[in-house]
Structure 1
Amino acid sequence: MTEMLNLPQRSDFAHVTDWVFDLDNTLYPHHVDLFAQVDRNMTGYVSALLGLSREEARAIQKRYYQEHGTTLQGLMLHHGVDPEDFLEKAHAIDYEVLSPDPELGEAIKKLPGRKFIFTNGSVKHAEMTARALGILDHFDDIFDIVAAEYVPKPAGSTYDKFMALHRVDTARAAMFEDLPRNLLVPKALGMKTVLLMPRDEGHEFTDAWEKKTEEDVHIDYVTSDLAGFLVRIVEG
């Protein structure tokens, strides 16, 4: 079943030549809970690093995530962790929970212009995820947290790095994200913004601050069905 809160018209995206997609909870739906594995690994990492219970570690993990954009950034700033070690351990997960998504792949393939993955995770994680979904070959490049010099979205400087590297005309670009705050800069730059929401508003791994509110006027479209949304754009 297609679930969209506001339906796109093909003409709304006729000008778009650069399509930018977040990775986790965007290119696959929230209920798959792939990121839940990463979340648990990060809690375990913080627990071992600081000698805390999982409950105490999770509280710090989530505070760093909210304050710094990623748990990793907080750990680097406050505890000097090795980012490569953290990313390797955080992404030691089972990708077999993902299944190929031919409808999504075909829709992405048909989008006119270039397609990018822009993630606060690693290239390896993005490649493994997109390959499991059967969509990796449809993307022109992956911009990850290493390319961002470990400064995550929603930092404006990170968007600037991405746009400059790929010479993106933001007036002819669209961005798809699952976090409202990560669409603030794209909207300010003139991009079309699309928010991916869980089908279940009470989704366990969605913190209160991650949810869309009436104040989030920078979001153009909201959907819980990325494939269906893109099909409407490419097929009308």
Structure 2
Amino acid sequence: MTMTPDPARFAHVTDWVFDLDNTLYPHHSNLFAQIDVKMTAYVGELLTLSRDDARKLQKELYLEYGTTLNGLMKRHGIDPDDFLEKVHDIDYSRLVPDPVLGAAIRQLPGRKFIFTNGDRRHAERTARQLGILEHFDAIFDIVAAGLNPKPERQTYERFAELHSVTGHNAVMFEDLARNLAVPKSLGMTTVLVVPRNFEPTFSEIWERDPANDDDVDFVTDDLAGFLTAIVDVAA
């Protein structure tokens, strides 16, 4: 793994694939933390659990099924539309527009995609608040994925087929290393986006995925800077 973009590793890329939460916006903005709180509340209300018990179950579902939504659907048959609407009822004004990131994405050669386990409305609101929505060619959300979340292989294959993405011509940016295992196996270049000045805290220790280190080609704590370096090299 390296923090510095290697020009030769990106010169062939025609498809740029970005996760959304904690990838296109910085971890310290705490936007996803709002969603996390909403998911805990949803689990607690659904199953009449205390906050602590709901939180524990939520994380168990997340680890076992890939997303809390997937776990609740399989164990309790919930309505996914109801869940997605309620957990994404958050304050997007906390996000600060990122013109540097927008300029870098705009100048990348080829197509740009958002590939998220969230829904399209959440992706659009987030990207619009960041000032980058217009730079993307398409959004592949959890509904387009047939409600099968990353890191399930069929989800990546469905995305690749739908948008005619060839692995060796693509790069994927993610904040979770386990979500890069399948892209790596499909021939994609992989970039792990970590929190700025990354030091694991209580909320990230179980998300570090050391077993997936071999699936990560590059690591960055500054997505805008990383992309700008690629653009500058290409220029």
Structure 1 length normalisation: TM-score? 0.95
Mapping of 1:59-138 within 5 angstroms? Answer: 59-138=56-135
209-218 or 119-128, which deviates more:
209-218
Mapping of 1:73-222 within 5 angstroms? Answer: 73-199=70-196, 200-206=198-204, 208-213=205-210, 216-222=213-219
Q: Distance in 1 between matches of 2:57 and 2:136?
A: 35
**Contact residue 181 and residue 212 of structure 2 kept, 8 A:** no
Any idea what the Cα deviations from partners look like across 1:62-96, whole Å, max 9, x if unmatched?
Answer: 01111111000000000010000000000000000
- SS at the partner of 1:46? helix
Where structure 1 has 5 or more consecutive residues not aligned to the other structure, the ranges are: none
Give 1:55 deviation, angstroms. 0.4
Number of residue pairs matched by the alignment = 232
RMSD of aligned Cα (Å)? 1.3
* 1:183 aligned partner, one-letter code: L
Give 1:213 deviation, angstroms. 2.0
Give 1:201 deviation, angstroms. 1.8
Q: Distance in 2 between matches of 1:139 and 1:53?
A: 41
Q: Distance in 1 between matches of 2:132 and 2:217?
A: 25
| 2:20 is the alignment partner of 1:23 | yes
Mapping of 1:222-233 within 5 angstroms? Answer: 222-233=219-230
Give 1:173 deviation, angstroms. 0.3
* 2:43 aligned partner, one-letter code: V
Structure 2 length normalisation: TM-score? 0.96
